[in-house]
Homo-oligomer: A and B are copies of this chain.
Amino acid sequence: MRPEEFDLVGSVSLIAAAAEEHRPQLLRGAFLQRFPAHVELIREGEPPDFLHIVVEGQVELFSRYRDRETTVGVLGPGSSFILAAVVLDKPYLKSARVLSSARILMVPSEAIRAIFDIDAGFARALTRELAQAYRGVLKELKNQKLRSSLERTAAWLVRFNAETGGLNQFDLPFDKKVLAGRLGIAPEVLSRTFVTLQSYRVRVAGRRIHIEDLASLTKLASPDNLIDDPLA
């Protein structure tokens, strides 16, 4: 890696948690690589060679089964993925593909495990990250099982709105197709959901969303910190 890349990488919280003297070892076999959209970064079932950290762009996590596919998450800068597989040295449970052109930091799994064993601060950070990831999936499971697709959509809109300044208007950060996956519904259903949301005074024009009655949408969504996770 080039020097300026080290700076960039040092700002990744997990790496920053490692003691200064361990960082070189952690980054020795690491790559910071740029990938175009659609590239499949990892494939479920494969052994974990690298811990992946999104530095720039967006990555979709998904899983295939028979002839089906489902999205299990969408990540932005700062998020790592497949940490659990790396820790346990077990096969990936999910695949990942690049949505919009992305830069990914790839750190060799053995390095992660090695530093984990000798650097308590790094171990703590990693464990915290894992604990947060755990809570993230659990929340998503609850979101799926306890809410209807209309409610999930409303909750996502309310959350995204809040996290982008609460201006009550914003652009969707990805294709509606991807949002549908993120929400666990078919794209057609999302389309119809947006139609239904008109009666809650949500206006949709292409990627542009206007929330004209936040109170009403919020009432529908029933946001709940025990279900809704920060969008990363």
Using a CB–CB cutoff of 8 Å, the interface residues on chain A facing chain B are 44-45, 63, 65-66, 68, 70, 72, 83-85, 87-88, 90-91, 93-94, 116-117, 120, 123-124, 126-128, 130-135, 137-142, 144-147, 184, 222, 224, 226-227
Contact = CB atoms under 8 A, between A and B. Distances in A.
Contacts of A83: 131
Given A134-B134, A145-B144, A126 B127 contact: yes
Contacts of A147: 65
Contact of A88 (B85, B116, B135, B141): B135
Contact of A135 (B45, B90, B135, B142): B90
Contacts of A68: 146
Given A91-B226, A123-B123, A137-B141, 15 more contacts: A45-B226, A63-B226, A65-B142, A72-B138, A72-B142, A84-B132, A87-B128, A93-B138, A93-B142, A120-B120, A130-B134, A134-B134, A140-B141, A141-B141, A144-B145
Nearest to A118: B120
